[in-house]
């Protein structure tokens, strides 16, 4: 039987941003096993998250910390429909050294608009439409580096891009180091919305769960491994439809279509601008650490020819400031844009908004028309950088093991 925790003095807080669902009637109780129930009402669909706070003294309540609220189930951390709802939390598992005193705890229930969802999206690849959201890496069950997010689940990070003007391309001070710097001429860009991008490139296990195939250059020998990036891929195996003119193809061979069907999330490849903004994580240099572009400084963040001869498990090198791993090195990552040597830039130095690249490929790139980013394990440091671009991806045919991909998704998983 549940007992009310200090019914007269227990405090329940409601938090909701403008123009989203309204949360009301929040109440907290605890049963004999220690399990905590948070009940509430919601008047429209939204993503719901919960924070547990305790009284530190003088009736000032503070969060117990996101890392202590991981074992939560019921009507939280996902899209919730209107109605009366319940969240369950296991404090004896998450916070065993503490106790919940009567009148000293409250629950803060937050509603998130479906076009402004929390910072992390976790997607189960083994069950249809099983999508969860978390406000921070500390809330992610098992932690963001858990092997499950490199095998049976996808973990994506929200990229705060909306309305930010930034410099895309190589930093002018570094241009002399790049023999093909013309491919990455510095110019201003602005993205019109936030988006999610994979914390890791898609791994071989994740690719295989969706029935993804490989070309003749697929992984073999030392390049095989569940948590190594999927490689040996060409455009038709991954997307099978050119962008932006055509919708995503529903062909059985297009693995992104399978990700969409299984999860209900409208995944796609990132544009070059989305990829580079995510890679840089607010920095302007060739490396997202802000360090000089050379072998020694690349070693800590990337797999490249200076430290490996084959694909490596994702997530072993240092991430960028937004918690993204293997953005540089390991595998080249496909982007939506058609490739050409020079960027399309804004007139009079104005930022170009949501750049889409050329409208079509040129004859010289007919065999390899789409852009790739980030470098790979058998490239030297000059091929591995935030700005670095290539077009070594076949549209339909042989694809080397160095060709992989990373998924992106819109807010709330829907366009």
- Mind listing the pLDDT tens digit for each residue in 401-410? 999 999 999 9
The pLDDT value given to residue 277:
98
What's the pLDDT score for residue 393?
58
Average pLDDT for residues 47-62, to the nearest whole number? 88
DSSP state of 347: G
- Listed in sequence order, the DSSP H helices in 222-338 are 235-238, 255-263, 272-280, 295-298
Tell me the fold of 120-413: 3.90.1580
Q: pLDDT, tens digit, for every residue of 65-82?
A: 988 998 999 999 999 999
Question: What Cα–Cα distance (Å) separates residue 248 from each residue in 259, 266, 299, 312?
Answer: 12, 10, 37, 30
Phi then psi for residue 104, to 5 deg, are -115, 15
Among 390, 387, 380, 379, smallest CA distance to 337 is for: 390
Indicate the SS3 state at residue 133. strand
Round to whole Å and give the CA distance between 347 and 260.
Answer: 37
Name, in order, each residue with C-beta under 8 angstroms of 403's C-beta and a sequence gap of 6 or more.
Answer: 217, 231, 232, 233, 234, 331, 332, 334, 372, 392, 393
Q: Which of 28, 24, 27 is nearest to 15 (CA)?
A: 24
Q: Which residues contact 58 (CB under 8 A, 6 or more apart)?
A: none
d(CA 204, CA 201): 10
Averaged pLDDT, 272-289: 96
Per-residue pLDDT tens over the stretch 19-41: 589 999 999 988 888 889 999 99
Domain boundaries, the chain: 2-112, 120-413
Widest distance between CA atoms in the chain:
76
Average pLDDT score over the chain: 88
Q: Residue 8 — pLDDT band, cuts 50, 70, 90?
A: very low
Top CATH class, 2-112: mainly beta
What are the phi and psi torsion angles at 188 (to 5°)? Answer: -90, 140
**pLDDT above 50: residue 147:** yes
- CA dist., res. 415 & res. 413, Å (int): 7
DSSP 3-state helix, strand, coil percentages of the chain (rounded to 5)?
15, 25, 55
Judged on CB neighbours under 10 Å (0-12, 13-18, 19+), 163 is: exposed
For the stretch 351-388, pLDDT in tens is 999 998 877 666 555 556 789 999 999 999 999 999 99
The lowest-confidence range among 80-94, 243-257, 320-334 is 243-257
Omega of the bond leading into 122 within 30 degrees of 0 (cis): no
CB atoms within 10 A of CB 200: 26
């Amino acid at each position: 039987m549940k007992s009310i925790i200090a019914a007269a003095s227990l405090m329940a807080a409601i938090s909701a941003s403008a123009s989203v669902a309204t949360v009301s009637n929040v109440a907290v109780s605890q049963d004999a096993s220690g399990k905590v129930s948070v009940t509430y009402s919601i008047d429209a669909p939204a993503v719901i998250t919960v924070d547990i706070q305790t009284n530190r003294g003088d009736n000032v309540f503070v969060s117990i910390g996101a890392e202590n609220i991981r074992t939560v189930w019921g009507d939280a951390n996902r899209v919730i429909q209107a109605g009366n709802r319940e969240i369950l939390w296991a404090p004896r598992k998450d916070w065993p050294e503490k106790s919940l005193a009567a009148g000293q705890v409250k629950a803060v229930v937050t509603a998130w608009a479906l076009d402004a969802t929390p910072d992390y999206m976790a997607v189960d690849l083994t069950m249809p439409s099983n999508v969860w959201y978390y406000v921070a890496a500390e809330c992610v069950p098992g932690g963001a580096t858990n092997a499950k997010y490199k095998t049976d689940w996808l973990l994506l990070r929200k990229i705060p891009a909306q309305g930010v003007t930034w410099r895309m391309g190589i930093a002018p001070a570094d241009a002399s180091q790049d023999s093909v710097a013309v491919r990455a001429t510095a110019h201003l860009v602005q993205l019109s919305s936030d988006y999610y991008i994979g914390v890791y490139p898609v791994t071989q296990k994740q690719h295989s769960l969706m029935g993804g195939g490989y070309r003749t250059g697929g992984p073999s020998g030392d390049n095989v491994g569940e948590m190594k990036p999927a490689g040996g891929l060409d455009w038709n195996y991954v997307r099978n439809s050119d962008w932006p003119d055509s919708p995503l193809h529903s062909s059985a061979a297009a693995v992104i279509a399978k990700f969409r069907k299984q999860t209900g999330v409208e995944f796609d490849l990132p544009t070059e601008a989305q990829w580079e903004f995510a890679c840089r994580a607010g920095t302007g240099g060739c490396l997202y650490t802000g360090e000089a572009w050379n072998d020694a400084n690349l070693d800590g963040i990337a797999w490249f020819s200076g430290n490996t001869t084959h694909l490596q498990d994702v997530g072993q090198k240092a991430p960028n400031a937004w918690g993204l791993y293997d953005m540089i090195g390991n595998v080249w990552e496909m982007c939506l844009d058609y490739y050409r040597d020079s960027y399309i830039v804004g007139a009079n130095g104005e930022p170009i908004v949501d750049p889409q690249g050329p409208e079509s490929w040129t004859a010289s790139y007919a065999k390899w028309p789409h852009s790739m980013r980030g470098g790979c394990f058998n490239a030297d440091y000059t091929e591995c950088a935030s700005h670095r671009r290539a077009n070594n991806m076949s549209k339909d045919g042989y694809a080397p093991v160095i060709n992989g991909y990373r998924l992106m998704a819109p807010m709330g998983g829907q366009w």
